Amino acid sequence: MIQRLFRLAGGTVLVLAWVAPPAAAAPPKGAPPPGKARTIAELAARYDSSSCVECHQEAHEQWERSAHSRPIFGTGRTAATFKTAVMNGLLKWEHSGVKSQKDVRVEHLQGCTKCHLPQLVEAADGVAQEILSTIDAWQAAAEEGDEAATDKAAKTLKSLNINCLVCHNRNAIIHKWTDGSPQPGTVYGGSAEGEHPDPKFPRVAKSPVMGESILCGQCHGLGPNLELHNPTQCATGYGSYLFAYIPDGGDKTCQQCHMRDSGLGHDMQSFRSEVMAKAALDMHVEARAYVWRDNQTFRPMATVKVELHNKAGHGLPDG
């Protein structure tokens, strides 16, 4: 114990004493690192944005219709692809360190979750395994026709999503040495700054990139994710935007087409949306018939000319 005496006015003495903490005991084997979410439920609770709904009802309802509300589950095909990545990838690759699903760590899922669930890096490895076992449970229940179990597993998977807090906090600041890191209790928007009437998030601040394409580009793809030990490639839309659309004179942002011009707001959609499909391209068809002559042989022919003009800010299709 260390003591220090401070003589204060009037001769009183303040004794400050502190005791050195005992040497930290080694964490038990397998225990998650401190501060990491240990379960899907804990991670979902950490990113609970339910308090946003009261004031932002319309945005919430729009978001619920978007793929951002179910990035792990998708249409079911996304969840299945998580499993395929393990079965056909990690388990077969000699140097992955994965001999069974129990060996899967958060790092192993980064090829998918870098975008499908960026907050997974704030979870312990057990959460990566829980995601996979929940997908197993969902697939097994679906095969057995157990509707209740299927719905329960799907609901668990959908509890992990790209919600308000991912775009308006976690990913709202990209250049952290320039702009600082996103602060807890703060929601980031395009312009407003000051107080925010939510006890959980009492401050609102300006994100320098909220209206910029780079915000979306964090996930929507330059090409191979070369920073990973085993690079993956999902979307290439942002790469096409940067290296084809912009050089050709394009000047719109992702948000302009997918949120504002479409009228879809936070229901950001792509090829499945009638609105986006209509906006994406113009098709012009010309057709006529004629008689082809090959020496003495005449053959009636139809000729069809189709012009497709891509009005999107990226190649169609993307992938």
Partner 1 sequence: MPVPQQLGRGDRMGRGPYEKSGLLVDTSLPPRRTVTQNWEIRFPVEETENEDGETVRKYSTDQLELDIQLWYQPYGTPDDDAVLWRQEKRTVKVDTSGL
- Interface of this chain with partner 1, residues 234 to 253, rule: CB under 8 A: 234, 236, 240-241, 244-245, 248-250
Q: Does 272 bind partner 1 (CB under 8 A)?
A: yes
Give the 3-state secondary structure of residue 164: helix
Neighbouring residues of 162: CB distance < 8 A, sequence distance ≥ 6: 68, 69, 71, 116, 117, 118
For residue 301, state whether it binds partner 1 (rule: CB under 8 A): yes
Among 37, 40, 112, 127, binds partner 1 (CB under 8 A): 112
Work out whether 307 is an interface residue with partner 1 (CB under 8 A): yes
- Those residues whose C-beta lies under 8 Å from the C-beta of residue 54, and which sit 6 or more positions away, are none
**In terms of CB distance, is 175 or 311 closer to partner 1?**
311
Instruction: Give residues 251-270 in contact with partner 1 (rule: CB under 8 A).
Output: none
Among the listed residues 51, 57, 183, 303, the single contact to partner 1 using CB under 8 A: 303
SS3 2: strand
Contact 231, 224 (CB under 8 A): yes
Distance of closest approach, residue 298 Cβ to partner 1, in angstroms: 5
Helix (H, G, I), strand (E, B) or coil at 246: coil
Q: Which residue in 200, 223, 256, 262 binds partner 1 (CB under 8 A)? A: 223
Spatial CB neighbours of 267, under 8 Å, sequence gap ≥ 6? 62, 63, 65, 66
Binding residues among 123-182 for partner 1 as defined by CB under 8 A: none
In angstroms, rounded to a whole number, what is the distance separating the alpha carbons of residues 199 and 249? 45
Does 315 bind partner 1 (CB under 8 A)? Our answer is: yes
In angstroms, what is the minimal distance from the CB of 125 to partner 1?
Answer: 18
CB distance 84 to 169 below 8 Å = no
Closest CA to 200 of 46, 35, 34, 69: 46
Among 30, 35, 194, 300, binds partner 1 (CB under 8 A): 300
Contacting positions for partner 1 (CB under 8 A): 75, 77, 81, 84-85, 88-90, 111-112, 223-224, 230-234, 236, 240-241, 244-245, 248-250, 271-272, 277, 280-281, 283, 285, 287-291, 297-319
